[in-house]
Protein backbone atom coordinates (compact mmCIF):
# COMPACT_ATOMS: atom_id res chain seq x y z
CA UNK A 1 0.00 0.00 0.00
CA UNK A 2 1.27 3.46 -0.92
CA UNK A 3 1.81 5.82 1.99
CA UNK A 4 -0.15 9.08 1.67
CA UNK A 5 1.80 12.24 2.39
CA UNK A 6 0.24 14.47 5.02
CA UNK A 7 -1.00 17.91 3.95
CA UNK A 8 -1.25 21.38 5.48
CA UNK A 9 -4.74 22.37 6.58
CA UNK A 10 -5.87 25.95 6.06
CA UNK A 11 -9.24 27.65 6.40
CA UNK A 12 -10.52 30.72 4.55
CA UNK A 13 -12.60 32.89 6.87
CA UNK A 14 -14.97 35.35 5.21
CA UNK A 15 -16.61 37.62 7.75
CA UNK A 16 -17.87 41.11 8.49
CA UNK A 17 -17.45 41.28 12.26
CA UNK A 18 -14.05 40.81 13.88
CA UNK A 19 -15.62 39.06 16.89
CA UNK A 20 -16.96 36.33 14.62
CA UNK A 21 -13.50 35.77 13.14
CA UNK A 22 -11.96 35.55 16.61
CA UNK A 23 -14.64 33.11 17.82
CA UNK A 24 -14.16 30.94 14.73
CA UNK A 25 -10.40 30.85 15.27
CA UNK A 26 -10.88 29.82 18.90
CA UNK A 27 -13.12 26.92 17.89
CA UNK A 28 -10.76 25.82 15.11
CA UNK A 29 -7.66 25.82 17.33
CA UNK A 30 -9.44 23.60 19.83
CA UNK A 31 -10.31 21.25 16.98
CA UNK A 32 -7.21 21.28 14.74
CA UNK A 33 -4.36 22.61 16.85
CA UNK A 34 -2.42 25.81 17.03
CA UNK A 35 -2.52 28.36 14.22
CA UNK A 36 0.94 28.62 12.70
CA UNK A 37 0.10 31.35 10.18
CA UNK A 38 -2.63 33.94 9.83
CA UNK A 39 -2.89 36.32 6.92
CA UNK A 40 -3.84 39.93 7.32
CA UNK A 41 -7.51 40.48 6.52
CA UNK A 42 -8.12 41.45 2.90
CA UNK A 43 -11.22 43.17 1.55
CA UNK A 44 -13.44 40.54 -0.03
CA UNK A 45 -15.68 41.36 -2.98
CA UNK A 46 -18.40 38.75 -2.69
CA UNK A 47 -21.06 37.69 -5.15
CA UNK A 48 -24.47 39.26 -4.58
CA UNK A 49 -26.03 36.28 -2.73
CA UNK A 50 -23.24 36.30 -0.13
CA UNK A 51 -23.42 40.11 0.21
CA UNK A 52 -27.18 39.89 0.74
CA UNK A 53 -26.72 37.20 3.37
CA UNK A 54 -23.71 38.55 5.25
CA UNK A 55 -23.78 42.28 4.53
CA UNK A 56 -20.83 44.49 3.65
CA UNK A 57 -18.01 45.24 3.88
CA UNK A 58 -16.65 41.69 3.95
CA UNK A 59 -13.10 40.59 4.71
CA UNK A 60 -11.18 37.39 4.17
CA UNK A 61 -8.28 35.98 6.07
CA UNK A 62 -6.58 32.61 5.93
CA UNK A 63 -5.37 30.60 8.90
CA UNK A 64 -3.28 27.46 8.80
CA UNK A 65 -2.64 24.93 11.49
CA UNK A 66 0.58 23.45 12.81
CA UNK A 67 -0.24 19.76 12.70
CA UNK A 68 -0.22 18.20 9.23
CA UNK A 69 -3.26 16.04 8.45
CA UNK A 70 -4.20 13.14 6.22
CA UNK A 71 -5.88 14.56 3.07
CA UNK A 72 -8.70 12.07 3.59
CA UNK A 73 -9.81 14.10 6.63
CA UNK A 74 -10.79 17.16 4.57
CA UNK A 75 -14.46 16.17 4.18
CA UNK A 76 -14.77 15.91 7.97
CA UNK A 77 -13.11 19.31 8.37
CA UNK A 78 -15.54 20.85 5.85
CA UNK A 79 -18.51 19.37 7.72
CA UNK A 80 -17.18 20.77 11.01
CA UNK A 81 -16.79 24.20 9.37
CA UNK A 82 -20.36 24.02 8.08
CA UNK A 83 -21.50 23.22 11.62
CA UNK A 84 -19.62 26.24 12.92
CA UNK A 85 -21.23 28.44 10.26
CA UNK A 86 -24.60 27.23 11.58
CA UNK A 87 -23.59 28.10 15.13
CA UNK A 88 -22.88 31.70 14.09
CA UNK A 89 -26.15 32.19 12.16
CA UNK A 90 -28.41 35.02 13.26
CA UNK A 91 -31.96 35.15 11.94
CA UNK A 92 -31.07 32.48 9.39
CA UNK A 93 -28.11 34.40 7.95
CA UNK A 94 -24.50 33.32 8.09
CA UNK A 95 -22.03 35.61 9.82
CA UNK A 96 -19.02 33.57 8.69
CA UNK A 97 -18.18 31.59 5.59
CA UNK A 98 -15.54 28.97 6.42
CA UNK A 99 -13.90 27.12 3.57
CA UNK A 100 -11.17 24.65 4.49
CA UNK A 101 -8.58 23.35 2.13
CA UNK A 102 -5.13 21.85 2.07
CA UNK A 103 -1.75 22.43 0.57
CA UNK A 104 0.50 19.65 -0.62
CA UNK A 105 3.76 19.69 -2.55
CA UNK A 106 2.03 20.55 -5.82
CA UNK A 107 -1.22 22.39 -5.20
CA UNK A 108 -3.74 24.23 -3.03
CA UNK A 109 -7.18 22.63 -2.81
CA UNK A 110 -10.48 23.98 -1.43
CA UNK A 111 -13.32 21.83 -0.12
CA UNK A 112 -16.80 22.66 -1.38
CA UNK A 113 -20.31 21.26 -1.42
CA UNK A 114 -20.74 22.29 -5.07
CA UNK A 115 -20.04 19.87 -7.89
CA UNK A 116 -18.73 21.03 -11.23
CA UNK A 117 -16.72 19.96 -14.25
CA UNK A 118 -13.36 20.64 -12.58
CA UNK A 119 -14.26 19.42 -9.08
CA UNK A 120 -13.50 15.92 -7.84
CA UNK A 121 -15.78 14.12 -5.44
CA UNK A 122 -14.14 13.40 -2.07
CA UNK A 123 -16.81 11.91 0.23
CA UNK A 124 -19.92 12.76 2.28
CA UNK A 125 -21.15 15.28 -0.30
CA UNK A 126 -17.83 17.17 -0.37
CA UNK A 127 -15.90 17.98 -3.55
CA UNK A 128 -12.32 19.14 -4.00
CA UNK A 129 -11.42 22.11 -6.16
CA UNK A 130 -7.76 22.66 -7.08
CA UNK A 131 -7.32 26.45 -7.03
CA UNK A 132 -3.54 26.93 -7.30
CA UNK A 133 -0.49 25.03 -8.46
CA UNK A 134 3.06 25.58 -7.18
CA UNK A 135 5.37 25.14 -10.18
CA UNK A 136 9.00 26.01 -9.43
CA UNK A 137 8.22 27.94 -6.25
CA UNK A 138 5.57 30.18 -7.79
CA UNK A 139 1.78 30.33 -7.62
CA UNK A 140 -0.17 29.51 -10.74
CA UNK A 141 -3.92 30.04 -10.78
CA UNK A 142 -5.96 27.81 -13.03
CA UNK A 143 -8.49 29.00 -15.61
CA UNK A 144 -11.36 28.02 -13.27
CA UNK A 145 -9.81 29.46 -10.11
CA UNK A 146 -11.87 32.12 -8.35
CA UNK A 147 -10.73 35.62 -9.49
CA UNK A 148 -9.24 36.47 -6.08
CA UNK A 149 -6.86 33.50 -6.41
CA UNK A 150 -5.32 35.33 -9.36
CA UNK A 151 -4.26 38.20 -7.07
CA UNK A 152 -0.68 38.86 -5.90
CA UNK A 153 -1.85 39.21 -2.28
CA UNK A 154 -3.17 35.65 -2.41
CA UNK A 155 0.04 34.47 -4.08
CA UNK A 156 2.04 35.85 -1.16
CA UNK A 157 -0.21 34.12 1.38
CA UNK A 158 -0.14 30.76 -0.38
CA UNK A 159 3.60 30.86 -1.05
CA UNK A 160 4.11 31.43 2.69
CA UNK A 161 1.81 28.50 3.51
CA UNK A 162 3.54 26.31 0.92
CA UNK A 163 6.97 27.13 2.39
CA UNK A 164 5.69 26.30 5.90
CA UNK A 165 4.31 23.02 4.59
CA UNK A 166 7.60 22.03 2.95
CA UNK A 167 9.49 22.79 6.18
CA UNK A 168 7.03 20.72 8.22
CA UNK A 169 7.09 17.84 5.75
CA UNK A 170 10.89 17.78 5.75
CA UNK A 171 10.95 17.79 9.56
CA UNK A 172 8.36 14.99 9.68
CA UNK A 173 10.38 12.87 7.24
CA UNK A 174 13.59 13.43 9.22
CA UNK A 175 11.82 12.50 12.44
CA UNK A 176 10.44 9.34 10.83
CA UNK A 177 13.91 8.37 9.54
CA UNK A 178 15.35 8.90 13.01
CA UNK A 179 12.71 6.64 14.54
CA UNK A 180 13.34 3.94 11.93
CA UNK A 181 17.07 3.92 12.70
CA UNK A 182 16.48 3.26 16.39
Per-residue pLDDT of the chain in tens (182 residues, 90 and over written 9): 678 999 999 999 999 999 999 999 999 999 999 999 999 999 998 888 889 999 999 999 999 999 999 999 999 999 999 999 999 999 999 999 999 999 999 999 999 999 989 899 999 999 999 999 999 989 999 998 988 999 889 999 999 999 999 999 998 888 776 656 66
Any domain includes 127: yes
Residue 74 lies in a domain: yes
91 phi-psi bin (left φ>0, alpha ψ -120 to 50, beta other): left
Phi, psi of 94, rounded to the nearest 5 degrees: -70, 145
This prediction's pTM: 0.93
Q: Which domain holds residue 76?
A: 8-181
Helix (H) / strand (E) element for 158: namely helix 152-181
Domain for residue 39, yes or no? Answer: yes
Tell whether 1 is covered by a domain: no
| Residue at 110 is within a domain | yes
Q: What are phi and psi of 72, to 5 degrees?
A: -65, -15
The tally of domains found in the chain comes to 1
Instruction: Please check whether residue 3 lies inside any domain of the structure.
Output: no
Amino acid sequence: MHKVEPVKLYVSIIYREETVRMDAKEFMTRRWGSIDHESDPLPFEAALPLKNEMGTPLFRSFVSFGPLIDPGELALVKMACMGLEEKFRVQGKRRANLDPGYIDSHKAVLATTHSGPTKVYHSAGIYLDTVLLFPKGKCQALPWSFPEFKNQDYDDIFLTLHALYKEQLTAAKLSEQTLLKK
